[in-house]
Structure 1
Amino acid sequence: MSNTASTGGTQSMRRALALLRVLAQHQEEGIDLQGVMAATGLERSTAHRLLSSLLEEQFAERDARTRRYRLGVDSMQLGFAALRRTPLLDALRPFAQKLARLSGDTVFLVIRQGDYALCLLREAGSFPVKVFTIDQGERRLLGVGAGGLALMAALPDEEIASLYARHAASYAQIGVSSAALMKAVKQTRSAGHSEIVDTITPGVSGVGAAFRVSELTWVAFSFGAISSRLDAPRRAQMGALLRAECQAWAEDYLGQ
C-alpha cells in the first residue's frame, strides 16, 4: 500500500472517529447535518458520505421525522462492552480505594452518559455508618448527587439549560428548579468542588469533583457521609482533598 493511500485511510478513520464523538455529545437530542458540519469542520459532501457509511454499518441512526443523527446500536454495543472492563476502570478502582482509605467515607465514581451520571464504582470507607445512596450500574440525571453536580458544572450554561428543559418534569418531581440548579452549578465552579446537603436522602451529604480523562469523557468522584459527620468545615476540607487527589491522578494518567 502506498504512503498516500495509507495517509488517506488514516485521515478518513480520524474523521469518522471525530464524527462518532460528535454524535455521542448530542445523543439525547440528536444533531442534523448542518450541526455535524459546524461541529467537525467537514464539507457537506464529506460529512454526508461518512454519516451514510455509519448508517449502513449501524454505528449511527437517523430519525426519519427530525432527520437528526444519533449513535446507532453497534456503537452502543461497543460502549457497553467497554464499560464492563476497561483499562481506565481498572486504573480508577485502586484510586477509589485510596480515596476511601483517606476519607473513611463511601466513595462513588460516576461517568457522564448523555444527560445522566452512571455509577461505575462504589467503595466503602472505614466509618461505621455507611452511605449507599446509589448502586453500581444505577444512573441519575446530571446535577443530582455530588458527582452528577460536579459533572454538570463542567458544561456550558446553554447546554445545562437545554438539558434541564428536556427533563424539566423529572427535575421538578425531585424538587429541583432551574434557578436552584444553576445556583448550585455556580457555587461548584467557584469552590472547585460540589457540595450537597440533604438533597437526595435526608441526613446525608456529599462532596464531588470532576475531571477529564479523554477528549470526550468526564468522570467524577464523590464522598458521601451522614450530614453530622460531613458538616460545612469538613465538606470544605474533603473538597480540597478530593480536588488535589483527582488533579494529581488525572495529570499522571493523561501524561502516560
Structure 2
Amino acid sequence: MPDPHTADVPHHKEDRHFVTALARGLDVLACFRSFETRLGNAELAQRCGLPKSTVSRLTHTLTELGYLRMDPEQAKYQLGSSALALAPAAQRGVDVLSVVQPFMQELADLSQGVTSLIVRDRSQMLIYENCQSESYLTLRVAVGTRISGLTTAAGRAYLEALPPAELRQALSAFRSKDGVDAAAAEAIVEHSRAEVRRLGCTTSFGDWLPDINSIAAAFRPGPALPPMTLSCSGPTAIVPAGLLLETVRPRLLESIRGIEAALGSRDH
C-alpha cells in the first residue's frame, strides 16, 4: 500500500515552484519512524508509491549526504548522522508534551473519553499523543494515525489558529486530500470561525466518523513551532455532545490558557 504522503505530490503538479525531487526525498525520510527502523529500496518503493529505480537514486543521494546509512549485511537503510543532527530541533516538541500531558489526562478523565494532542502533517492531521480515561474502551485511534483536516474538530481548530496566508495553503492541502470543493471548504471555515467566536472551540459531532463526537481548541506552543490542537473525543453513547459542550469545554479552554502560560514562561 502506498504511503499516505504520496497523495500530496500530484496536488502540486501545476505549481512551478514545487520541487518534486525534494518532496520525494522527504517522503523517503518520512518512512523512517525511528533511528532503529531499517528499510530496503523495495520496501521504500512500496511505501512511497514510487518506482524502485527512483527510490534507489534517492537513497543513494541521501546516503551521500549523511541522512541515511546502509547496513551492508541486510542491504537496508537507517537514518544517518545528518538526520540525527536535526533531532535537537525536535526536542521542543518533547518539551511541549511534558507540559501538555497532565492537562490531557485531566480532560480525558473528565470526559470519560480520549484527549489527543494533534498536529498537522501535510494534507492531514496527525495524532501526536493520546490520553484516555480508565473506563474508555472504544475508538482506539493510535498515535501516528492521520485524520481528516476538514471533518475533525482538531483540523478545524488548527485552521482557525492560522494567519491568512497559511490558512489558504493548509485549506488547499486539506481540500485536495478530502476531495472537497472550494465552496464547501469555505463554508466549513466560516462555520468553525463562528464556533470559535461563540464557544472558544470547534466541534465535530458525527462529521468525521458516525456516532463520534469531539471538540478541539488550538494553542500556540511558542515562536518556533506551529499551532497544535487538543481534542476531546468519544462515542456518542459515552461522550454526548452536551457533556462535551457544558462540562468539558470550559476545562478545555482553561487548559489551553494554562498550557500557553506554562510554555510562555519557558521561553523567557
CA 1:87–1:165: 2 relative to 1, 3 Å: closer
Amino acid at match of 1:202: P
Shift of 1:93: 2.7
Which residue in 1 is equivalent to 2:244?
Answer: 235
Structure 1 letter corresponding to 2:234: A
Return closer, same or farther for 1:245/1:90 CA change in 2, 3 Å cut-off.
closer
**Shift of the alpha carbon at 1:124?**
1.6
5+ unaligned residues in a row in structure 2: which ranges? 1-11, 19-64, 68-81
Aligned residue type for 1:142:
G
2:109 partner letter? R
Q: Is the 8 A contact 1:171 1:177 kept in 2?
A: no
C-alpha spacing 1:156/1:84, structure 2 compared with 1 (3 Å): closer
Q: Which runs of 5+ in 1 are unaligned?
A: 1-27, 33-56, 60-73
Change in Cα spacing, 1:158 to 1:226, as seen in structure 2 (3 Å) is: same
Amino acid at match of 1:156: P
Question: Is 1:106–1:130's contact at 8 Å kept on the other side of the alignment?
Answer: no
Query: What is the Cα deviation at residue 163 of structure 1?
Result: 3.0
One-letter amino acid matched to 1:201: L
Cα 1:235/1:138, change in 2 over 3 Å = same
The code of the aligned residue for 1:94 comes to: P
Matched length: 190
- 1:30 to partner: Cα distance: 9.9
The 1:156/1:189 distance shift into structure 2, 3 A limit, reads farther
- AA paired with 2:258? A
* 1:95 aligned residue (93, 100, 103): 103
Between the aligned partners of 1:110 and 1:182, the Cα distance in structure 2 is: 18
Superimposed CA distance per residue, residues 144-201 of structure 1 (whole angstroms, 9 cap, x where no aligned partner): 4222221111123454334333453422269x93133223321332121111011121
Distance in 1 separating the partners of 2:254 and 2:93 = 26
CA 1:252–1:244 in 2, change beyond 3 Å: closer, same or farther?
same
Matched, 1:104 2:112: yes
Give the ranges of 4+ consecutive aligned residues of structure 1 lying more than 4 Å apart after TM superposition: 28-32, 74-77
The answer for the alignment partner of 1:189 in structure 2 is: 196
How many Å separate the matches in 2 of 1:254 and 1:30? Answer: 39
Q: Is the 8 A contact 2:204 2:214 kept in 1?
A: yes
Q: Which of 139, 146, 150 matches 1:131?
A: 139
How far, CA to CA, are the matches of 1:84 and 1:162 in structure 2?
24
Distance 2:98 2:136 in 1: 27
TM-score of the superposition, structure 1-length normalised?
A: 0.61
Distance in 2, Cα, partners of 1:168 & 1:79: 31
Q: How far apart are the structure 1 equivalents of 2:123 and 2:180?
A: 17
TM-score (norm 2): 0.58
Q: Which residue of 2 aligns with 1:177?
A: 184
Q: Alignment partner of 2:259: what SS?
A: helix
Deviations 1:110-142 (A, max 9, x none): 12344432211112213454323x320122343
Q: Which has the higher contact order (CA 8 A, sep 6+)?
A: 2
Cα distance between partner residues in 2 of 1:167 and 1:232: 25
Deviations, residues 66-110 of structure 1 (Å, cap 9, x unaligned) = xxxxxxxx5797269836972222333333222222322111111
- Tell me whether 1:198 sits opposite 2:206 in the alignment: yes
Instruction: Tell me which of 132, 148, 153 is aligned to 2:155.
Output: 148
Aligned identity (percent) is 19
Separation in 1, partners of 2:164, 2:84: 27
Corresponding residue for residue 254 of structure 2: 244
Label 1:252 to 1:80 Cα distance change in 2 as closer, same or farther (>3 A): closer
